[in-house]
Amino acid sequence: MADRRPTIKDVAARAGISKGMVSLALRGAPGPSAETAARVLRAAAELGYRADRAASALALRRTRLLGITMTVRNAFHAELVEELQAAAEEAGYEVVLSAVTRTRGERAAVETLLDSRCEALLLLGPELPAAELVELDRRTPVVVLGRRTSRTGRAGEDLDVVRTADGAGVRLAVDHLVGLGHRELLHVGGGDGDIAADRREGFRRAVAAHGLDGRARVVEGEFLESAGVRAARQLLAAGWSTTGVVAASDRIALGFLDVLAREGVDVPGRLSVVGYDDSPLAQLGHVQLTSVSQGPVDQARCAVRAAVERLDGGRVQRAEVVLEPRLVVRRTTAPPP
């Protein structure tokens, strides 16, 4: 019923001019006279013409597409995607999202992006082996967000990386608590990954820098509420004299706070708690969690810039952008009792 979509040929016929001229006029390229351009634009508007991306991608040998893999349930990824989309648009690119799910691994997600002829890949917190990422990068520029890749930076490992300095972030949290007067600190860690390791290490160094390493504790967990719940129960049961807690993520912090609320422990009166990610969860009206922000806006901008530099700027060298995290103080921290 809906008669075939108008093509550039239809526009040309209506404007009484050749296809080539129409193509130039529609893109505002030099060539057509002002009068002709106006006529073309009018004809296109009247027909409701829209260029066919597939056709122009084919002719241009470019898609101007950035592919993003994300874990669709991760709130921080969602924030990043939002910002990436905006940044890409500004740079004249479109983004294609590919979701990593339980049933669809990162590898499959990347495949579909490659099929769409994305010109660069932005991978959010990828968990593929580094070797595979490097191999991928040899065909299509890859920008890794959030995860640190090899410290060594061996030759051939040309991946771009955008991340925040996790150690510095934890340090901000520790400094904040110590500045408020806390001396007995606890870190609830996120487990085995690179990110959790960096944060744990950052905690150890920060407390040592304040000469408090003898009194600091670390509890291991994973990046989930349940880890916070376990840690809080352990703390209360053992009767530790801890007054300040640095969690490796907001979700951990929320689990922790939930137990405290149930047990009637005053926050921040008796215990101060700092989260990590400054996720929307932390910002909720009734939570108001003090947290370390990874600056999703800046990360997104840097990642898109890195990709565009490779594509349009001819950069070939590896770039690693390490952003400084920022502490957002809300209502879960105060001087110790």
Residue numbers of the site for a second copy (CB under 8 A)? 2, 50-55, 57-58, 63, 72-73, 75, 78-79, 81-82, 85-86, 89, 94, 96-99, 101-104, 112, 114-117, 138-139, 224-226, 229, 255, 258-259, 261-262, 264, 280, 284-287
Contact window for DNA (CB under 7 A) among 20-28, 76-84, 250-258, 269-277: 20-28
Please tell me whether the peptide bond between 280 and the residue prior to it is cis, using omega within 30 degrees of 0: no
Interface characters, 47-86, with DNA (x: CB under 7 A) = --x-xx--xx-xxxx-------------------------
Report d(CA 75, CA 280) in Å as an integer.
Answer: 7
Report d(CA 102, CA 124) in Å as an integer.
Answer: 16
- Measure Cα distances from 101 to 2, 73, 115, 188 in Å: 37, 9, 19, 27
Indicate the residue among 34 and 237 with the shorter CB distance to a second copy.
Answer: 237
Indicate the residue among 16 and 337 with the shorter CB distance to DNA.
Answer: 16
Q: Do 252 and 190 contact (CB within 8 A), yes or no? A: yes
Report d(CA 254, CA 275) in Å as an integer.
Answer: 8
**CB 140 to a second copy: min, Å:** 8
Applying CB under 7 A, among 26, 41, 265, 311 the residue interacting with DNA is: 26
Indicate the residue among 42 and 53 with the shorter CB distance to a second copy.
Answer: 53
**CB 49 to DNA: min, Å:** 7
Indicate the residue among 38 and 72 with the shorter CB distance to DNA.
Answer: 38
- What does 9 interact with, of DNA, a second copy, none (CB < 5 to 8 A by kind)? DNA
Report d(CA 254, CA 329) in Å as an integer.
Answer: 16
State which H helix or E strand residue 115 sits in.
Answer: helix 106-115
- Please give the structure tokens belonging to residue 221: 């967990």
- What does 112 interact with, of DNA, a second copy, none (CB < 5 to 8 A by kind)? a second copy
- What does 18 interact with, of a second copy, DNA, none (CB < 5 to 8 A by kind)? DNA
**CB 222 to a second copy: min, Å:** 12
* CB-count burial class (<10 Å; 0-12, 13-18, 19+) for 258: middle
Report d(CA 26, CA 37) in Å as an integer.
Answer: 8
Q: Would you count residue 18 as binding DNA (CB under 7 A)?
A: yes
**3-class SS at 131?**
helix
What is the size of the binding site for DNA (CB under 7 A)? 31
- Measure Cα distances from 28 to 23, 34, 60, 237 in Å: 9, 10, 16, 71
Contact window for DNA (CB under 7 A) among 24-32, 99-107, 271-279, 282-290: 24-32
Amino acid at 116: S
- What does 208 interact with, of a second copy, DNA, none (CB < 5 to 8 A by kind)? none
Q: Would you count residue 2 as binding DNA (CB under 7 A)?
A: no
**CB 5 to a second copy: min, Å:** 8
In sequence order, what DSSP letters do the residues of 265-322 get, joined into one string? --TTTT-EEEEEE--HHHHSTTT--EEEE--HHHHHHHHHHHHHHHHHS---S--EEE
Residues that bind DNA (CB under 7 A): 4-5, 7-9, 16-21, 23-24, 26-27, 29, 31-36, 49, 51-52, 55-56, 58-61
